[in-house]
């Protein structure tokens, strides 16, 4: 989140952790803009933060050219701010997966490619894999979300950009426990898989989501059993840019 209060600290850490693959998490809701709020009157509230009513905003972005221009300006500003860090752009995604909105997706695709974007997350999660681990698991993706994800993946690939074959972390968002991650690694399909987390050293901090188990997700990521499983035979830990450079290799 290049406009977030801790962005400078995150950039400093990323510069020191040279093997870390860093993506741009575009924020258009529930966060801070990079542009001056006065330039985004239809996107921000009276405090200068992005509006949180995504349904109403989604309609306005779709039908109102003025609102679309503000979105385009802010998306470009966030790419520009990332570029200024000097970090290599590994991939792009969007807060709360709002790039499933066809208009927002189009703007990110157009603007992102001008700034060297080569990979974009497409939040498409195969629930049948989750059910191998916990039978009662149900998908959080509605038919509309699934349709938008399929259309987004087609747009991404038409532009010769990279998207993972599947993404895990949606149904169990904020609850990617050690047992669940172990199950995913044991049932990982062939191809390129993204697994995303929300790790933190506390479950309560400014901006934290209710009921998210941030500490448990951090524990899962560093658990010796998980580290061993994730570096075992048949699995390679990579970033999107690594895969793009070795796209002829089958990777689990």
- State the Cα–Cα distance between residues 184 and 132, nearest whole angstrom: 9
Segments making up each domain of the chain, as ranges: 1-117, 126-140+165-252
Angle at 9 between CA 107 and CA 104, to 5 degrees: 10
H or E segment and range at residue 89: strand 89-94
- State the Cα–Cα distance between residues 133 and 187, nearest whole angstrom: 8
- Positive or negative torsion for Cα 93, 15, 87, 33: positive
Instruction: Tell me the two tokens of residue 245.
Output: 């450079």
pTM above threshold 0.85: yes
Q: What is the pLDDT of residues 217-247, one digit of tens each?
A: 999 999 999 999 998 878 999 999 988 776 5
- Alpha carbons within 13 A on the beta-carbon side of 61: 26
Q: What is the pLDDT of residues 98-124, one digit of tens each?
A: 999 999 999 999 999 999 999 999 999
Instruction: Tell me the two tokens of residue 126.
Output: 């195969």
Query: Strands 166-168 and 193-195, how do they pair?
Result: parallel
Question: Tens digit of pLDDT per residue, the chain (252 long)?
Answer: 999 999 999 999 999 998 999 999 999 999 999 999 999 999 999 999 999 999 999 999 999 999 999 999 999 999 999 999 999 999 999 999 999 999 999 999 999 999 999 999 999 999 999 999 999 887 766 778 889 999 999 999 999 999 999 999 999 999 999 999 999 999 999 999 999 999 999 999 888 889 999 999 999 999 999 999 998 878 999 999 988 776 544 444
Residue 193: strand pairing partners? 166
């Amino acid at each position: 989140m290049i406009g977030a209060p801790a962005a400078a600290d995150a950039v400093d850490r990323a510069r020191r952790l040279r093997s870390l693959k860093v993506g741009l998490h575009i924020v258009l809701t529930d966060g801070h803009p990079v542009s001056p709020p006065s330039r985004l009157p239809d996107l921000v509230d009276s405090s200068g933060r992005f509006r949180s009513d995504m349904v109403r905003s989604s309609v306005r972005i779709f039908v109102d050219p003025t609102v679309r221009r503000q979105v385009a300006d802010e998306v470009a500003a966030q790419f520009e701010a990332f570029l200024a860090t000097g970090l290599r752009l590994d991939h792009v995604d969007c807060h709360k997966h709002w790039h499933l909105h066809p208009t927002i997706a189009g703007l990110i695709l157009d603007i992102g490619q001008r700034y060297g974007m080569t990979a974009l997350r497409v939040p498409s999660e195969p629930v049948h894999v989750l059910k191998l681990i916990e039978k009662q698991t149900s998908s959080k993706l509605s038919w509309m979300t699934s349709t938008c994800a399929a259309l987004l993946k087609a747009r991404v690939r038409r532009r010769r950009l990279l998207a993972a074959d599947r993404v895990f972390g949606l149904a169990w968002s904020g609850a990617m426990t050690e047992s669940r991650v172990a199950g995913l690694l044991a049932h990982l399909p062939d191809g390129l898989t993204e697994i995303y987390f929300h790790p933190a050293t506390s479950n309560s901090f400014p901006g934290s989501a209710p009921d998210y188990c941030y500490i448990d997700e951090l524990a899962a990521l560093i658990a010796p059993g998980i580290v061993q499983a994730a570096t075992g035979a048949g699995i390679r830990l990579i970033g999107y840019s690594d895969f793009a450079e070795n796209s002829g290799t089958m990777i689990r």
